Amino acid sequence: MARIEVNHIRHSYLPNPQKDSDFALKEVHHTFEDGGAYALLGPSGCGKTTLLNIISGLLHPSHGQLLFNGHDVTRLSTQERNIAQVFQFPVIYDTMTVYDNLAFPLRNRRVPETDVDRKVRETLDMIDLASLAKKKARGLTADQKQKISLGRGLVRSDVNAILFDEPLTVIDPHMKWVLRSQLKQLHRRFGYTMVYVTHDQTEALTFADRVVVMYDGEIVQIGTPAELFERPRHTFVGYFIGSPGMNVLPVALEGKTAKLGAQRIELPGVPKADKGAVELGIRPEYVRLGREGMAVQVSKVEDVGRHKVVRANLEGKEIAAVIGEDDEVPAEAKVRFDPAGINIYADSWRVEMGA
Amino acid sequence: MEKTWNNKAWFLVLPVLVLVAFSAVIPLMTVVNYSVQDTFGNNVFFWAGTEWFEELLASDRFWEAMVRNLIFSFIILAIEVPLGIFIALNMPKKGWGVPVCLVLMALPLLIPWNVVGTIWQVFGRNDIGLLGYYINALGIDYNYVQDPIDAWVTVIIMDVWHWTSLVVLLCYAGLVSIPDAFYQAAKIDGASRWAVFRYIQLPKMQRVLLIAVLLRFMDSFMIYTEPFVVTGGGPGNSTTFLSIDLVKTALGQFDLGPAAAMSLVYFLIILLLSWVFYTVMTNYDAER
């Protein structure tokens, strides 16, 4: 296991990158601690897979350094880095049996056959494929194949890190949950350094201790799931995490008050925003729907099972509010913002509020 | 809805039935007709029964041509398949090299067969041929007109030159269909170059390779034009393959009966081999 330092890494797929927009990774500087479970979360094309491939050595960064336990590995090949990686779509060796597929990474490294057998059997039990060990891999279903891919990632115990690139995309929803909790258990048991790329917030939030949110080639926030939810550092994190995402409303500031059209909203403190476009962010969970506050026109109520999502119009802006499954929407609905859930953003970045 | 049961659909397949009848069935029946009769021209026929077939199957000439043809097919497969795989593996996967390589590879396939024969016929001559002249100048005695071994070598090299591209293109198509993730996974798993070939590339090429072998086998088993232009089946009968022998019998000696019998046997062999290949391929597919 290793501590992975990503030292001011920039990467471009173009031969001569000039502008910032030529870079798939603008600048990433972060340390993945030894034994941590990290999720890299972000929309498609934000550079998360690029970062993962740079860590595993499938790509070499245009600029910057990569350190494993303090040793520079930037120019080392994938083999020399001793990394395990699981890809989005199942990669299996068609002509081999399930057993041989799992043994492959070990045999390539000339592990004695008795150890191979022990490790492979352990892994087969872990991924629940022991009954298929002697079967040819090509006859299996997509999720069984993906389990083999996962198994090949987990079979070597001496790896520096295990990287997952959206590994559960092809898996059925109920299996996803099972596999994710198995990975989590493995992490607790063996203390692997794990980096898990996904664009699914539920997956990221349930798997990882710390979530790294990426947007447009940059890391916008690193934090625990709770931090990302309560205090998004960037409006993108607000939109991206949570369902529905955070309400972001353009406001004008006046001391401890934010003005939204004709409405005045009391803030918990004085925001330290002296320039740029100011926005107020509030999660739907903190919007209280009732008979007092600011008047809204309710446009739609979506019942999503455990709660209802109310879509409404406040001063010409769309907002969402979450209410309980049994709550009713009043005839002349009004909303209040819970001060605990209010964040203020200047030019999309969160600003602190003073007393 | 009530289903209509009548035979009107036959009208829809009638055109193709007529076409097949005129292009295949009727000519084939003519051959069958010749194979069981004897004729001296003037449309006078005598019933011969199975005489021509018995004669053919007992003749050394036929079996020698057959063995020659099988050896030839085996040799060119043994050269073209590995060579084709090797070239395909080393062709660029992206960049400007791809179209250049593809065009270069396709060139031999675009040349008419008798032109290929002519090219090599001239190329190998030891008076004016670039190849023949310089090989002799190096002190190696090479003369495809007189030496059977030299004639074989020439015909085989010509076939390799002409047809390896086909194997290359088919294998290349198989190779480029392999997603990058497989190579990446192999790197992660620490696979050697050989293991990548053995466990990723070869299995992915298996299907196209089967087709390549089938095509090359059938083509080489029916080969006529190129060796005929280069050696005319000689020296002696040393490069007389089945179809050259057939044409000699039919048009050279004008023995229509024996030639027809030979055509039918030849046809049955090809049919049998095609069936074997087809069965192997469909079984392979079913297994997948």
At what angle are helices A142-154 and A173-190 packed, to 10 degrees? 10
**For chain A, where do the domains classified as CATH 2.40.50.140 start and end?**
246-354
Average pLDDT over residues A219-246: 87
pLDDT of residue A265: 85
Cβ separation of A56 and B188 shorter than 8 Å?
Answer: yes
pLDDT digits (tens, 9 = 90+) for B162-206: 999 999 999 999 999 888 888 888 888 888 889 889 888 988 888
Angstrom distance (rounded) from CA A287 to CA A338: 6
pLDDT computed for residue B211 by the predictor? 85
| Nearest chain B CA: its distance from A86 CA (Å) | 8
Tell whether A84 is within 8 A of chain B (Cβ): yes
User: Which pair of tokens denotes residue A240?
Assistant: 């991206």
Express each pLDDT in B97-113 by its tens digit: 899 999 999 999 998 88
**Preceding amide of A244 cis, omega within 30:** yes
pLDDT score at B167: 93
Q: What angle do CA B65, B69, B71 make, to 5 degrees?
A: 120
Residue of B nearest to A163 (CA): B188
Residue numbers in B near A94 (CB within 8 A): 203-204
Q: Which segments of chain A does DSSP mark as H helices, in order? A: 48-56, 78-81, 98-108, 113-126, 142-154, 173-190, 201-207, 225-230, 235-240
Q: Which residues of chain B have pLDDT under 50?
A: none
Measured between beta carbons, which residues in chain B are less than 8 angstroms from residue A85?
A: 184-185, 188
Closest-CA residue of chain A to B200: A93
Query: Distance between CA atoms of A183 and A190, rounded to whole angstroms?
Result: 10
Which option is the CATH number for A246-354: 1.20.1280.290, 2.40.50.140, 3.40.190.10, 1.10.10.10? 2.40.50.140
Q: Could B189 and A108 be called an inter-chain contact, meaning their C-beta atoms sit closer than 8 Å?
A: yes
List chain A residues with CB under 8 Å of B179: 89, 91
| pLDDT tens string A156-170 | 878 888 888 888 887
* Terminal-residue alpha carbon distance, chain B: 38
- Tell me which chain A residues have a C-beta less than 8 angstroms from the C-beta of B95: none
Average pLDDT over every residue of A13-40: 83
Class of domain A4-235: alpha beta
Distance from CA of B198 to the nearest CA of A (A): 9
Give residue ranges of B with CB < 8 Å to any A CB: 179, 181-182, 184-185, 187-192, 195, 199-200, 203-204, 288
**Nearest-angstrom CA–CA distance, A220 and A238:** 11
Give which of A151, A79, A96 is closest to B187, Cα–Cα: A79
Q: What is the mean pLDDT of chain A?
A: 85
What is the predicted pLDDT for the residue at B16? 92
Q: Do A108 and B192 touch (CB under 8 A)?
A: yes
Does A108 sit within 8 Å of B185, measured CB to CB? no
CATH 3.40.50.300 domain extents, chain A: 4-235
- As a whole number of angstroms, the distance between CA B168 and CA B148 comes to 29
- Which domains are seen in chain B, by residue range? 60-287 (1.10.3720.10)
d(CA A284, CA A263): 18
Contacts of A58 in chain B (CB under 8 A): 184, 187-188
Q: What distance in Å separates the CA atoms of residue A319 and residue B143, rounded to the nearest whole number? A: 91
Helix locations, chain B, DSSP H: 9-20, 26-35, 51-58, 60-90, 97-110, 113-123, 130-137, 148-176, 180-188, 193-196, 202-221, 225-230, 242-247, 256-287
State how far the Cα of A304 lies from the Cα of B96, in Å rounded to an integer: 53
Region A290-314: mean pLDDT is 86
How many Å apart are CA B14 and CA A288, to the nearest integer?
A: 76
